[in-house]
Structure 1
């Protein structure tokens, strides 16, 4: 009897240990445009809520469902940025926290990018202040801002219109004078040209750009085709490393999508991703949203998911196929850097 009890306790401990070291997707029931920033042992996560900017704080993104959660900003009504808050991102830059988001007054054509600032060491505390609009001199429709540093220069990339009509979204880049100010004119890096970026739609889309560095090489992963279609997928731009990232001729577009719908796994329209490393710095992970059935489009059914990825010999990210919901996956490595 004693041996049987010991065996049962050992088995239970083994099951508990396995559960503590694994997770399943989705990470939350819903949440589009997921993004995280890692600092001092914590991940600060955010996604689109449409009405506010919210943060989650956690040691592991696998624990988002139980993570500390706080609304850090809700805009005043009746402003140009009071509605349709999309794709927030949080960054720690030059000693302060900055949260970026796109918003409008209720009409999509008014979408522009904005930034908040917080001098506190912990972005879950302290005061978030509205810093203002982030815009290049053209001040055209703009969403999905992402910041990155390359060779000690800060850049912003985003999705925007060339003019004032909702016909085509392209990827733009500009230098940053500081975390809240664009310096100089924007340069277009990518516009929909391949059929998989258009999918027969009247409005064609390149959006959600995310900078990705690997062994000193700069890339941009972006979402293409409308989020309202199941053709929504990820594409890749690669910088030659010669000259400036502001030179559009120095970028090459991969001809095919690098991450797309997998009907067998019931993962549809995977896109608007971001990247993070495991706490031990040894693993690369992609964080993205997707639907679990066809035809769900851009609504609230999109949920955040993550999976580990690898690299090819020629430096291409290898994401594989989006994994099926409920698949048991090993958690990101959690040893100390």
Structure 2
């Protein structure tokens, strides 16, 4: 067994399996995610404190379209099969894109399902997440990278019902600067430029029917997580933004899951520096149409 504190992981994503009494932890697990990609590993545990693993769930087959930057895998059960959305840096144009992989079981193995990334070929995109609307139609919500557009965007695109391709043109839902809590991200590569980052969107349908979105950015160059809400319950919005960040202690790329005893839990990675990233689990509640931490490291 290995403890949560010992697992180097970014972009943690948890699937709860109540029938088994277990949690499945996925994430960016390469020791150096900024370099050549190995694949994705999974951990299995019963209490969010100790885990079995790592177990390999994805390794690229010969001819795979990417060799670097294997990021942010998340796993969804959709129409009886498991799908993994993950980001890779394409070898042909050196741009990031999110592709869809598929597996016959939660444990994988996962193999390429889409024809490469389903994000636009000429865009630098990352962190695609799956959302199924009230009509059962699949969407992918993703980030249009700030390094390409300066003011990072959260976008949505309809997917074909088999999740193999985009079924339309992407729509910009909002830009990072439209929220009140992020501040410009200062980068040595872009001196004097006001960059605004969008990162790691995740959608959640609240008990009152509200559609909420977690996403990450920076406050004074420190990684942080905020919440936005669709004013009409549709993925296309319009979207409004919580004034203050939900979590600002150098952590983000969050998602929500239910524990085996039914509590609503947020997981983020923190700190945001390789190789020190670890998964943190923080209990949250729905309050006044938003999310609130019950305790922990929000400040």
Q: Who is 1:57 aligned against?
A: 44
1:316 aligns with 2:277: no
Q: Who is 1:285 aligned against?
A: 265
Runs of 4+ in 1 over 4 A off after TM superposition: 76-79, 105-109, 136-139
Task: Report Cα offsets for 1:136-165 as digits up to 9, x if no partner.
Answer: 456511111111223123221111148x83
Paired residues of 1:145 and 1:159 also in contact (CA < 8 A): yes
1:259 aligns with 2:260: no
Q: Who is 1:99 aligned against?
A: 84
| 170, 175, 178: which one aligns with 2:158 | 175
1:236 aligns with 2:227: yes
Indicate the structure (1 or 2) with the bigger Cα radius of gyration: 1
Moved more, 180-189 or 131-140: 131-140
Q: Who is 1:115 aligned against?
A: 100
Show structure 2 runs of 5+ residues with no match: 187-192
Q: Relative contact order (C-alpha < 8 Å, sep 6+): which is higher?
A: 1
CA distance change for structure 1 residues 131 and 73 in 2, over 3 Å: closer, same or farther?
A: same
Separation of aligned partners in 2, 1:323 and 1:257: 12
Query: Which SS does the other structure have where 2:142 is aligned?
Result: strand
Q: TM (normalized to structure 2)?
A: 0.81
Query: Which SS does the other structure have where 1:198 is aligned?
Result: coil
Separation of aligned partners in 2, 1:173 and 1:320: 31
Paired residues of 2:85 and 2:130 also in contact (CA < 8 A): no
Q: TM (normalized to structure 1)?
A: 0.73
Task: Report Cα offsets for 1:159-192 as digits up to 9, x if no partner.
Answer: 1148x83633211112222233322111111212
Q: Number of residue pairs matched?
A: 275
1:130 aligns with 2:112: yes
